[in-house]
């Protein structure tokens, strides 16, 4: 059975970008693949979270994974920092990752701009840690949103390079996976291209119905089309892209036709969108609350997952050490 790996940083609650870009694929893939879904707490250290928040944040994502329907009997769910083997591979990969290529990654440049007082080496080597997460289980598919494409390219490059240097085929080249035929980018409804925490425009799975309604109704629109079948301005396109992801095909087509014959009322479209989002999130929200309060169960699942992930990681690490030349003296 092919192996799948993916992770999410515990930097707050899951939002619709995380859900439609990643988690929805997890749900499908857990039935068909050998899946490892983890909580990337080491990656979150690049922004220096407070010590008292580390466990709390990991617990939040764990409860949200379960509430979304990730099933610990089907997939291995674990916390990254429980699998120390990843760090050893991270070190090996760093030995063959070059400063120039790391500095050139878009996400590094963006982060360096956003946090100029904290351009740490962890930020620079973020893609090697991510590659280690993936390669430690020899994953072939990685369900992620469009924003991770460059990190995925780097992971493939590091895998290839390792194989070439050591004359081995130890690592498969991991491919990004998306539910639709192209990578998903959930747009923000505030006119920005992407829904994201640092953009401050997220709709969270934990938001109640009223909050969701308010956020959706505030979506930026314009006066509406005056020429039939005209091209959509970017903010309107975002609204339609969002609807395409969240609503049914019929709903999308209904509003698209209204746009094309210039009879669209954005208020109606937003009401429909809000209702569709709420239909998705309401049951998840209720389950998040149930799981969050069951810390005993969360601890049990994390422990079980850690053991399974360690086993797989230790197996790969043994091969890696052998290939690199670490043998008994
Ligand atoms: P993170 O925590 O930023 O995001 C988690 C997942 O959510 C997706 N995502 C989106 N997808 C579509 N539209 C959006 N607006 C949107 N916002 C977020 C992301 O693409 C991602 O799939 N580097 C990763 C975490 C990571 C990882 C890994 C992932 C660490 N190691 C190994 C896969 C494999 C990250 O920061 O994701």
Tell me the average pLDDT of the chain: 96
- Per-residue pLDDT for 139 more than 90? yes
- The pLDDT value given to residue 275: 98
User: Which of 1-10, 90-99, 174-183, 270-279 has the least mean pLDDT?
Assistant: 174-183
Task: State in Å: Cα 142 to ligand 1 middle.
Answer: 10
- The pLDDT value given to residue 143: 98
- The pLDDT value given to residue 85: 98
| pLDDT above 70: percentage of residues in the chain | 100
Task: State in Å: Cα 7 to ligand 1 middle.
Answer: 7
Check whether residue 98 and residue 180 sit in a common domain: yes
- Per-residue pLDDT for 71 more than 90? yes
Check whether residue 311 and residue 283 sit in a common domain: no
Check whether residue 284 and residue 179 sit in a common domain: no
pLDDT digits (tens, 9 = 90+) for 35-69: 999 999 999 999 999 999 999 999 999 999 999 99
- The pLDDT value given to residue 136: 98
- The pLDDT value given to residue 83: 98
Check whether residue 82 and residue 158 sit in a common domain: yes
Check whether residue 149 and residue 88 sit in a common domain: yes
Mean of pLDDT values over 159-176: 98
pLDDT classification of 193: cutoffs 50, 70, 90: confident
Check whether residue 138 and residue 59 sit in a common domain: yes
pLDDT digits (tens, 9 = 90+) for 199-237: 899 999 999 999 999 999 999 999 999 999 999 999 999
| pLDDT above 90: percentage of residues in the chain | 95
User: Which of 27-36, 99-108, 191-200 has the least mean pLDDT?
Assistant: 191-200
Q: Which residues pair with 79 in a beta bridge?
A: 39
- The pLDDT value given to residue 161: 98
- The pLDDT value given to residue 328: 82
pLDDT classification of 180: cutoffs 50, 70, 90: confident
Task: State in Å: Cα 329 to ligand 1 middle.
Answer: 42
3-class secondary structure per residue, the chain: CCEEEEEECCCCCCEHHHHHHHHHHHHHHCCCCEEEEEECHHHHHHHCCCHHHHHHHHHHHHHHHHHHCCCCCCCEEEEHHHCCHHHHHHHHHHCCCCHHHHHHCHHHHHHHHHCHHHCCHHHHCHHHHHHHHHHCCCCCEEECCHHHHHHHHHHHHHHHHHHHHHCCCCCCCCEEECCCCCCCCCCCCCCCCCCCCCCCCCCECCCCHHHHHHHHHCCCCCCCCCCCCCCCCHHHHHHHHHHHHHCCHHHHHHHHHHHHCCCCCHHHHHHHHHHHHHHHHHHHHHHHHHHHCCHHHHHHHHHHHHHHHHHHHHHHHHHHHHHHCCCCC
Q: What residues flank ligand 1, with Cβ below 6 Å?
A: 5-9, 17-18, 21-22, 40, 43, 130, 133-134, 142, 144-148, 151, 184-186, 194-196
Check whether residue 300 and residue 283 sit in a common domain: no
User: Does 281 show up as a binding residue in the annotation?
Assistant: no
User: Which of 69-73, 115-119, 128-132 has the least mean pLDDT?
Assistant: 115-119
Nearest CA to ligand 1 atom 6: 18
Check whether residue 242 and residue 176 sit in a common domain: no
Is 308 contained in some domain?
yes
- The pLDDT value given to residue 293: 96
Check whether residue 214 and residue 139 sit in a common domain: no
Mean of pLDDT values over 178-197: 90
Which residues are tagged catalytic?
111, 194, 197
- The pLDDT value given to residue 327: 84
Mean of pLDDT values over 131-156: 98
ipTM higher than threshold 0.90: yes
pLDDT classification of 127: cutoffs 50, 70, 90: very high
Q: For residue 269, give its domain range.
A: 209-288
Is 76 contained in some domain?
yes
pLDDT digits (tens, 9 = 90+) for 80-97: 999 999 999 999 999 999
User: Does 197 show up as a binding residue in the annotation?
Assistant: yes
Is 222 contained in some domain?
yes
Is 80 contained in some domain?
yes
Check whether residue 167 and residue 300 sit in a common domain: yes
Is 243 contained in some domain?
yes
């Amino acid at each position: 059975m092919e192996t799948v790996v993916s992770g999410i940083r515990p930097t707050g609650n899951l939002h619709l970008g995380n859900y439609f870009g990643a988690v929805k694929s997890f749900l499908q893939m857990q039935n068909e693949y050998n899946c490892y879904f983890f909580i990337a707490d080491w990656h979150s250290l690049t922004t220096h979270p407070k010590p008292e928040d580390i466990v709390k944040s990991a617990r939040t994502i764990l409860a949200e994974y379960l509430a979304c329907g990730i099933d610990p009997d089907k997939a291995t769910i674990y916390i990254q920092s429980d699998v120390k083997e990843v760090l050893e591979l991270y070190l090996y990969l760093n030995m063959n990752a070059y400063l120039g290529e790391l500095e050139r990654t878009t996400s590094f440049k963006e982060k360096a701009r956003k946090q100029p007082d904290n351009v740490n080496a962890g930020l620079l080597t973020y893609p090697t840690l991510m590659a280690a997460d993936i390669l430690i289980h020899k994953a072939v598919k990685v369900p992620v949103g469009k924003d991770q494409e460059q990190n995925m390219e780097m992971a493939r490059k590091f895998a290839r390079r390792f194989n070439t240097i050591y004359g081995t085929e130890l690592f498969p080249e991991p491919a990004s996976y998306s539910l639709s035929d192209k990578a998903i980018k959930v747009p923000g409804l505030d006119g920005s291209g992407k829904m994201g925490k640092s953009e401050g425009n997220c709709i969270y799975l934990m938001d109640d119905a009223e909050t969701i309604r308010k956020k959706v109704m505030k979506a930026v629109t314009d006066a509406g089309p005056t020429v039939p079948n005209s091209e959509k301005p970017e903010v309107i396109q975002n609204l339609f892209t969002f609807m395409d992801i969240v609503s049914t095909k019929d709903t999308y087509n209904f509003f698209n036709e209204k746009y094309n014959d210039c009879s669209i009322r954005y208020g109606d479209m937003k009401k429909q969108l809000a209702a569709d989002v709420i239909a998705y999130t309401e049951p998840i929200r209720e389950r998040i609350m149930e799981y969050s309060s069951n810390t005993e169960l969360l601890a049990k699942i994390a422990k079980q997952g850690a053991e399974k992930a360690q086993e797989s990681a230790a197996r790969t690490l043994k091969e890696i050490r052998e290939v690199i030349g670490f043998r008994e003296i």
